[in-house]
Amino acid sequence: MYAGKARAYTNIALIKYWGKKNEQLILPMNNSLSLTLDAFYTETSVIFDESFIEDSFSLDGTLQDAKQTAKVSKFLDLVRQQYKFSLFAKVESQNFVPTAAGLASSASGLAALAGACSAALELPLDETELSRLARRGSGSACRSIFGGFAEWQKGDSDQSSFAQAIPADGWENELAMLFVLVDDGVKDISSRDGMKRTVETSSFYSGWLETIDADLATAKQAIAKKDFNKLGEVTEANGLRMHGTTLGAVPPFTYWSPESLNVMQLVRAARKQGLACYFTMDAGPNVKILVEKKNLTALKNFLADHLSEEKLITAYAGPGITLMPVER
Ligand code: PMV
């Protein structure tokens, strides 16, 4: 029996990953930059054993169906193939999210799975190699190997595509991200399908790519100088531009709901009152607001006049992946 367990935290991109150059290897079209957060994480244990006749996957205590298990098996197959190993595995995952708000993240899930596999098989993987492995599960997972800020170097091969920590001299600990939960009841277009359609059909996609290098440079400069407004401005602009590409796709689509637009407007209104805060969004209607810790209470008070408090979840900068002891 070979057993391993890991915990990984989710991350939110400030400069987004949007589009793959190679779907099989999950090589992205552009570099991206994220902040790992403490509020949402996944713990995953993996046991490989000779007695298993197939892979099994349970999530939050519930055994998953063939479709969900197949996604995990696909990753396990990669590990088995890469490390010349043939046993089936039992995978048990638990998502720690403050509410059942559909915020379970592929980034924390696949990073934890990669970590658990490497622990179980005692693979001598350093952070770079672990990041590379996690990337094959879900692109954004490669950034969750690291705490604080991380940049995914797009690379041009399996070897050269991985994330790296961006040291910020502890500045990340002065920041917060406030999640505003927006449930629009609309069926999701996964990030995978959304980015594929956009790359293949959106007339705005080339414009997105043209601005990435400048955005990244601005974000990194802002981090180096601990310049919150500069980081916030580029985060908000980059996120909007990513979402702009979906409107040019064929057929067009958007992740925004009326409530998302409402929250964006509230952020702008807060800013007008002198409260520095900036929003970003991913492949869904929830809005995430970047704010300095010192202004968090003021922001929450401002939002309380317009939103119910249950819709808000506060997150701070989180740590990188940790390998854990396996309970037997
Ligand atoms: O790694 P995926 O397939 O979940 O894609 C993530 C895409 C975005 O969340 C929209 C952007 C990002 O960089 O995380």
Instruction: Write the pLDDT tens digit of every residue in 168-225.
Output: 999 999 999 999 999 777 778 999 999 999 999 999 999 999 999 999 999 999 999 9
Which single residue is written with the structure tokens 């915990």? Answer: 7
Q: What is the pLDDT, as a whole number, of residue 188?
A: 82
Question: Which residues in the chain show pLDDT less than 70?
Answer: 98-102, 104, 328
Predicted pLDDT at 43: 97
Cβ proximity of 112 and 57 under 8 Å: no
- Of all atoms in ligand 1, which is nearest to the CA of residue 152? 13
Cα Rg of the chain, angstroms: 19
Sign of CA dihedral 51, 56, 59, 65: negative
Give CA–CA dist 132/24, Å, rounded: 13
Domains (ranges, CATH) in the chain? 1-328 (3.30.230.10)
Q: Where are the beta strands (DSSP E) in 53-141?
A: 56-59, 62-63, 89-96
Q: What is the ipTM of this complex?
A: 0.99
Rounded CA separation 235/13 (Å): 8
Distance 140 CA to ligand 1 centre (A): 5
What is the pLDDT, as a whole number, of residue 328? 64
Mutate to test the pocket of ligand 1, among 15, 17, 26, 197 (most ligand atoms within 8 A of CB): 17
Residue 165: beta bridge partners?
Answer: 150
Task: List all residues whose CB is within 6 A of at least one atom of ligand 1.
Answer: 13, 16-17, 32, 106, 138-140, 191-192, 282-283
